[in-house]
Amino acid sequence: MKKSLFIVFSVLLLAGCQKPAVIDSADVTRIITTLASDDMEGRMIFTPGIEKASVFLQGEFEKIGLEYIDGLNSYEQKFGMYSIRPESAEIKINGQTIDADNGFAAANSRSVSVNNVNDIKILRVAGNSNLRAAFQQASAEEGTHLILVNTAHKVMFARYKSFFGRGNRVMKLEDNKAVVMVLTNETNVRSVEINVQNNVTEQSLSNVAGKITGNRENEIVLFSAHYDHLGIRGNEGDTIYNGANDDASGTTAVVSLAKYFKDMGKKPERTIMFVAFTAEESGGFGSRYFSQQLNPDNIVAMFNIEMIGKPAVSGPNTAWITGFDKSNFGELLQKAVEGTEYEFYADPYPTQNLFYRSDNATLARLGVPAHSISTTPIDVDEDYHQASDEVGTLDLDHMTNTIKAIAAAAVRMISGEDTPTRVDPANVN
C-alpha cells in the first residue's frame, strides 16, 4: 500500500514536471500576431523588419530548447549575397564605339575586360534565327560571349537590355563569365574592346534553423516555412505588407510544431529539423543555401507549410498538398489522419503550378519528397500579396487545427514507420 502510493506520487510528480505536449491556440495567436505586426515592417529581406523577425524566431527556438543544426553555433544560418548593378559598359567593335542603346553586358562579376578577339566567343543571330536560343547557349557556357544581334530583333533586344539593366542578385560571383549583346548588322568582327564595370555590394541573409536529434541521426523529417515577405510598398493608406497568411502562418506552424515535438520529452526515432527560410519571395535563396549545407539524401520528408490561415475550398478541417503525384507523401498523410476529423487532399489548383512556387521545389529537385501544405483558396483570395494580408482576415481556430493535423500526420514518419517514396528529379522542372 505504502509502496504503491509512493509510485502514484512519483508518477504525479513526474507528470507535474513535464510540460504537456500541446498545440495551444493562445500560443499560435501570440506567434502569428508578433510576426505579422507592423513592427516587423512586412519582413522584407535586407530590412530591419526581417532582422527583428529573425531575432524573435531565434528566441522562440531557444525557449523551446532546440539544438543547433550541424556546423552552426546559433540558430542563425547566415549567408552572403551579392547585389550587382551595371555601372558602365564600353564596347568597341572594329574600332567603332557601340552606342549605349545598342549594347550591354550581363555579368555576375565586378568587371569584364576583353581586348583580344580570340578571348571571346562570338555568336551571330540573323534576322530569322532565335535570339533566345543564342542567349541560353551563351549563358550556359563558360567564358565571355559576344552576341551580334541583327536589328530585326530590335524589340526583343530592348527587352533583354532593360531586364539586365536592373541588375541581379546572386549567391556567387562568376569571374570570367559574361554575355555581351550588341544590336548590329555587322557580322565580321576583327577586333573588340570591352570594358564593363559593375557595382557589387555584399549583403547577408539568414535562415533560422534548429533540430531535435533522433536515434537515426541522419534521417531527417523537415518542417519549413518562409518568414520573409514583401515589406513596405507605396506611400498611401496601409503600406505595410504584413504577410500574416503568407507566410507568418506557416512560420507559426513551424515554431508550434518544434515546441510540440520537443515537449514530448523523449528522443525521437528520426531527427526532426525546423527551418524558417528567408528570401522565398525574392528568388528562393534561403532554401537554396540551406539545401547546399546538408546531404539532401538524408531528408526523408519535407513538410513545407504555406498559407494555412484560411479554410480551404474543400471545407474546414481540410488542407491540400502540392505535387501530390510526385511521391506517396500525400497518401501517407491521408492514411495517418484517417478516422480523425481532418483530411488532406491533392492541390485543387494544378494550373497555378503551386508545387514550383515555394521552397519545397528546391529540395524536390534534389530528390526529397518535398511538398507544400496549404489551405488558402488562392484563386479567389483577395488578400494574397496585398497590404490587407493581416491577422484579422485569418481563422486562427482553423489554423490551429491544421497545425495539429500536420503534427498527427507526421508521427509515423518521425517514428520511422513510414518513409515516403523519393521524388524523381526527372519529373521536376
Q: How far is the CB of 408 from Zn ion (least distance, A)?
A: 24
How many other C-beta atoms can be found within 10 angstroms of the C-beta atom of residue 371? 30
Residue 235's contacts (CB-CB under 8 Å, 6 or more residues apart) are none
Q: Which among 229, 236, 216 is positioned nearest to 419, based on CA atoms?
A: 216
Q: For Zn ion, which is the closer residue by CB, 212 or 257?
A: 257
Element (H, E) at 56: helix 48-64
Give yes or no for a contact between 344 and 320, defined as CB atoms under 8 angstroms apart: yes
Q: How far is the CB of 246 from Zn ion (least distance, A)?
A: 4
Q: For Zn ion, which is the closer residue by CB, 36 or 64?
A: 36
Q: How far is the CB of 251 from Zn ion (least distance, A)?
A: 10
Partners of 272 in the beta sheet? 212, 221
Amino acid type, 419: T
For Zn ion (CB under 5 A), the number of binding residues is 3
Q: For Zn ion, which is the closer residue by CB, 317 or 372?
A: 372
Q: How far is the CB of 410 from Zn ion (least distance, A)?
A: 20
Number of H helices, E strands in the chain: 10, 17
Q: How far is the CB of 375 from Zn ion (least distance, A)?
A: 13
| 418 binds Zn ion, rule: CB under 5 A | no
Q: How far is the CB of 306 from Zn ion (least distance, A)?
A: 5
Q: For Zn ion, which is the closer residue by CB, 43 or 326?
A: 43
Q: For Zn ion, which is the closer residue by CB, 276 or 332?
A: 276
- Give the separation between CA 415 and CA 269, rounded to whole angstroms: 5
Q: How far is the CB of 115 from Zn ion (least distance, A)?
A: 47
How far CA 240 is from CA of 39, 42, 43, 232, 324, in Å, comes to: 10, 6, 9, 5, 34
Q: Which span sits near Zn ion by CB under 5 A: 73-81, 149-157, 205-213, 299-307?
A: 299-307
Q: Which among 193, 204, 243, 281 is positioned nearest to 36, based on CA atoms?
A: 243
Q: For Zn ion, which is the closer residue by CB, 60 or 306?
A: 306
Q: For Zn ion, which is the closer residue by CB, 41 or 306?
A: 306
Q: How far is the CB of 261 from Zn ion (least distance, A)?
A: 23
283: phi > 0 → left, psi -120 to 50 → alpha, else beta; which? Answer: left
Radius of gyration of the chain from Cα atoms? 26
| 246 binds Zn ion, rule: CB under 5 A | yes
Q: Which among 308, 288, 411, 273 is positioned nearest to 359, based on CA atoms?
A: 288
243 DSSP 8-state letter: -
Q: Which among 200, 238, 215 is positioned nearest to 82, based on CA atoms?
A: 200
- Give the separation between CA 60 and CA 64, rounded to whole angstroms: 6
Q: For Zn ion, which is the closer residue by CB, 60 or 247?
A: 247
Q: For Zn ion, which is the closer residue by CB, 306 or 390?
A: 306
Cell numbers placing 312: 480551404
Q: How far is the CB of 247 from Zn ion (least distance, A)?
A: 4
Q: For Zn ion, which is the closer residue by CB, 359 or 418?
A: 359
| 41 binds Zn ion, rule: CB under 5 A | no
Amino acid type, 275: V
Q: How far is the CB of 249 from Zn ion (least distance, A)?
A: 9
DSSP letters, 139-198, are HHSSEEEEEEE-GGGHHHHHHHHHHHHT-EEESS--TTEEEEEEE-S----S-EEEEEEE
Give yes or no for a contact between 61 and 273, defined as CB atoms under 8 angstroms apart: no
Q: Which string of x and - marks every residue 302-331 that binds Zn ion (by CB under 5 A)?
A: ----x-------------------------
Q: Which span sits near Zn ion by CB under 5 A: 125-133, 247-255, 387-395, 404-412?
A: 247-255
Phi then psi for residue 262, to 5 deg, are -65, -40
Q: Which of 60, 247, 359, 418 binds Zn ion (CB under 5 A)?
A: 247
Q: How far is the CB of 280 from Zn ion (least distance, A)?
A: 6
Q: For Zn ion, which is the closer residue by CB, 98 or 308?
A: 308
Q: Which span sits near Zn ion by CB under 5 A: 95-103, 183-191, 238-246, 314-322?
A: 238-246
Interface with Zn ion (CB under 5 A): 246-247, 306
